[in-house]
């Protein structure tokens, strides 16, 4: 009974964070639509460049602190050492203030050098300078989030993410519009000043939203400490860890995670730098290659991150949960957690990837009002990349939860070297243009998946079950994709046919929107039907999911069970 409750709690906490992250990503995707329209492809290129650099600098400073804090706090709480867990929090907070503050200042003063000399996109420096304070604020907020996750409570992190995105949406769009106009008014002989200042306005939303989220987390922490004091008073720990021991533990945990995460997040920046350099050598102007990469990063990458949210959300919950199982020597429970998490992720990620590929052009028209072939074809080429990145993200978290911190670093480094060589080959030898970036990233994720899987098998004596995790969801998703395309084509053509021989732009847009929504609804039903009929998931497994009983009742009502 205890094991079942433990498993249920683990799934519930993971699902809470996943749902919140999905809501946050949807909000993020919605506000990116007007933001993209305000900035244009050139401004979006500056905005993306600044955000990629910001992400890398965040990795270097404190982005991995939540994971490290959650792991260290969870291990101590599992052993009843509440005082030591609290000391981890205090030491991590000092670390975040120093590291975040230093990197934030360096970012502000070196923005021109980073964007101009390294990235060859000097106009992105305005946006990067605006972003620099967010590094310091995010560092402090990350310690609070890791502390709550270590107590196996994902709710504060989940709510703070939603608050962050709501504030970000309003501030980013308003500030981007205002500063874009200001940039145009002071542009003079520089037509890029409008997009550059607009991008700076867009990034200001990140700073304000992270600050608001931090205020929320501080309030929750103050309330939480009232109940936590009882555990601290009854803590019978005889040995209080020294600050030095805790700092050593933090660094020993954070450095491999930083390196592994840094490799993941430095890849898009390397991609853009290599892409810009090679295309410039092939005769493309700066505006041309910035626009092409802006389509990839601002449209495909935004949509790609929506299905990836489940894997990235389950990772923070699987690390402390798996760490507790490994400390207890319960390898059976650890294997169950790995299997359940991977299946749960694939059952959701595979149909999302197939659906995005099947309805690529209609979705691009709906969200970005872009009917050009390039954005849709990038999405279709990147379907496999989405699935592989989900697996690599989750398998990396599994190894970290098993305290095999160095292995993901080694695997990611190997994959990165091969990725860079492949990207140069795809761009220079085969002239694949932006598709070379997609294929090189697919190769990167595939190599990480293979190496991580081999390591998990070696250390945990675990092999992932294949048919129900991958094959049946893929077959079900294939039928789903066919159904979605058929419904979309039929509904869209019927509405346009009813509108006459020369339908207006507004009617075309409305027809596309209605057809996409109906196609998505039918796709969800079709996927669920085939997944259950092909025995990809059993009723007993559905029951273990959050709100499983309610879900079973609905499935019985529509005759799926």
d(CA 67, CA 310): 16
Query: Any idea which of 9-13, 169-173, 212-216, 280-284 has the lowest mean pLDDT?
Result: 9-13
d(CA 516, CA 75): 47
d(CA 355, CA 519): 10
Q: What is the pLDDT of residues 371-419, one digit of tens each?
A: 889 999 999 999 999 999 999 999 998 998 888 988 999 999 999 999 9
Answer for the pair 54, 334: CB distance below 8 angstroms, yes or no.
Answer: no
d(CA 250, CA 69): 7
Termini Cα distance of the chain: 26
Place of tokens 């993200």: 393
Higher-confidence position of 67 and 470 = 470
Which pLDDT score is estimated for 546? 67
d(CA 515, CA 532): 26
Q: What is the pLDDT of residues 247-287, one digit of tens each?
A: 998 888 888 877 887 787 788 889 999 999 999 999 999 88
Which pLDDT score is estimated for 206? 93
- Asked if residue 11 has pLDDT above 70, the reply is no
Alpha carbon 23 to its chain's center:
12
- Asked if residue 478 has pLDDT above 50, the reply is yes
Name the pTM for this structure. Answer: 0.79
For 113, list phi and psi in degrees, rounded to 5: -65, -45
Which pLDDT score is estimated for 356? 96
Residue closest to 229 by CA, chosen among 82, 81, 79, 69: 82
Helix ranges (H only) for 330-465 are: 331-358, 360-368, 373-381, 383-401, 406-428, 434-460
Residue closest to 446 by CA, chosen among 384, 520, 353: 384
Q: Report the sign of the C-alpha dihedral through residues 287, 292, 293, 295, in that order.
A: positive
Query: Any idea which of 183-192, 270-279, 478-487 has the lowest mean pLDDT?
Result: 183-192
Answer for the pair 149, 317: CB distance below 8 angstroms, yes or no.
Answer: yes
d(CA 531, CA 348): 11
- Asked if residue 314 has pLDDT above 80, the reply is no
Which pLDDT score is estimated for 307? 85
d(CA 185, CA 159): 39
Residue closest to 51 by CA, chosen among 294, 374, 415: 294
Q: Which residues of 76-113 are buried (b: 16+ CB within 10 A; e: fewer)?
A: bbbeebbbbbbbbbebbbebbeebbbebbebbeebbee
Residue closest to 342 by CA, chosen among 382, 383, 386, 393: 393
Which pLDDT score is estimated for 444? 97
Q: Which residues of 265-303 are buried (b: 16+ CB within 10 A; e: fewer)?
A: bbbbbbbbbbbbebbeeeebebeebbbbbbbbbbbbbbb
Query: Any idea which of 76-90, 231-245, 429-443 has the lowest mean pLDDT?
Result: 231-245
Which pLDDT score is estimated for 102? 93
Which pLDDT score is estimated for 181? 92
Helix ranges (H only) for 461-504 are: 472-498
Helix ranges (H only) for 79-113 are: 82-113
Which pLDDT score is estimated for 532? 94
- Asked if residue 4 has pLDDT above 70, the reply is no
Mean pLDDT, range 217-222, rounded to an integer: 94
d(CA 427, CA 424): 5
C-alpha torsion 426→275→397→145, nearest 10: -170
Residues in the chain: 561
d(CA 298, CA 367): 12
d(CA 440, CA 433): 11
- Asked if residue 224 has pLDDT above 50, the reply is yes
Mean pLDDT, range 511-537, rounded to an integer: 95
Name 495's Cβ contacts closer than 8 Å, sequence gap at least 6: 507, 510, 511, 514, 515
Answer for the pair 515, 362: CB distance below 8 angstroms, yes or no.
Answer: yes
Answer for the pair 480, 526: CB distance below 8 angstroms, yes or no.
Answer: yes
Answer for the pair 311, 342: CB distance below 8 angstroms, yes or no.
Answer: no
Q: At what angle do helices 505-533 and 360-368 cross, to 10 degrees?
A: 130
d(CA 500, CA 52): 46
Which pLDDT score is estimated for 540? 80
Residue 9 binned pLDDT confidence (cut-offs 50, 70, 90): low
**Radius of gyration over every alpha carbon of the chain, rounded to an integer in angstroms:** 24
Place of tokens 């120093």: 98
Answer for the pair 99, 135: CB distance below 8 angstroms, yes or no.
Answer: no
- Asked if residue 517 has pLDDT above 70, the reply is yes
């Amino acid at each position: 009974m205890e094991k079942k409750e433990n498993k249920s709690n683990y799934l519930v906490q993971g699902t809470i964070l996943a749902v919140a992250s999905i809501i946050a990503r949807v909000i993020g995707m919605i506000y990116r639509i007007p933001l993209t329209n305000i900035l244009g492809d050139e401004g979006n290129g500056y905005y993306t460049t600044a955000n990629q650099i910001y992400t890398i600098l965040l990795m270097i400073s404190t982005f991995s602190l939540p994971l490290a804090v959650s792991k260290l706090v969870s291990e101590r709480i599992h052993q009843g050492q509440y005082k030591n867990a609290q000391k981890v929090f205090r030491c991590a907070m000092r670390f975040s203030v120093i590291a975040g503050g230093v990197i934030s200042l360096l970012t502000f003063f070196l923005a021109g050098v980073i964007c101009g000399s390294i990235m060859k996109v000097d106009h992105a420096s305005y946006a990067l300078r605006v972003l620099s304070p967010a590094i310091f604020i995010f560092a402090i907020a990350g310690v609070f989030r890791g502390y709550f996750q270590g107590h196996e409570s994902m709710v504060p992190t989940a709510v703070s993410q939603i608050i962050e995105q709501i504030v970000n949406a309003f501030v980013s769009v308003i500030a981007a519009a205002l500063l874009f106009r200001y940039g145009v008014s002071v542009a003079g002989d520089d037509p890029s000043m409008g997009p550059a200042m607009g991008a700076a306005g867009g990034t200001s939303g990140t700073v304000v939203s992270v600050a608001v989220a931090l205020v929320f987390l501080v309030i929750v922490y103050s309330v939480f400490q009232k109940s936590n004091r009882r555990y601290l008073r009854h803590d019978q720990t005889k040995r209080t860890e020294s600050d030095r021991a805790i700092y050593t533990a933090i660094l020993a945990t954070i450095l491999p995670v930083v390196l592994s995460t840094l490799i993941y997040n430095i890849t898009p920046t390397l991609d853009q730098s290599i892409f810009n350099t090679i295309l410039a050598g092939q005769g493309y102007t700066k505006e041309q290659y910035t626009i092409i990469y802006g389509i990839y990063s601002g449209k495909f990458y935004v949509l790609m991150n929506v299905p990836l949210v489940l894997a990235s959300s389950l990772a923070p919950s699987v690390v402390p949960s798996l760490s507790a199982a490994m400390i207890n020597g319960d390898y059976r429970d650890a294997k169950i957690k790995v299997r359940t998490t991977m299946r749960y992720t694939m059952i959701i990620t595979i149909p999302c990837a197939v659906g995005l590929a099947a309805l690529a052009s209609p979705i691009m028209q709906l969200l970005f009002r872009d009917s050009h072939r390039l954005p849709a074809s990038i999405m279709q080429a990147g379907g496999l990349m989405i699935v592989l990145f989900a697996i690599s993200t989750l398998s990396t978290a599994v190894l970290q939860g098993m305290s095999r911190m160095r292995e993901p670093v080694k695997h990611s480094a190997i994959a990165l070297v091969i990725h860079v060589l492949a990207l140069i080959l795809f761009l220079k030898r085969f002239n694949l243009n932006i598709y070379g970036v997609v294929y090189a990233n697919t190769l990167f994720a595939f190599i990480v998946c293979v190496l991580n899987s081999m390591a998990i098998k070696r250390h945990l004596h675990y092999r992932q079950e294949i048919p129900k995790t991958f094959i049946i969801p893929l077959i079900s998703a294939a039928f789903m994709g066919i159904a979605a395309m058929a419904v979309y084509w039929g509904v869209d053509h019927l509405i346009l046919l009813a509108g006459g021989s020369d339908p207006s732009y507004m009617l075309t847009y409305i027809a596309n929107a209605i057809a996409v929504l109906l196609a998505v609804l039918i796709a969800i039903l079709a996927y669920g039907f085939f997944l259950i009929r092909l025995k990809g998931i059993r009723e007993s497994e559905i029951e273990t999911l959050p709100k499983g009983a309610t879900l079973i009742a609905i499935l019985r009502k529509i005759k799926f069970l």
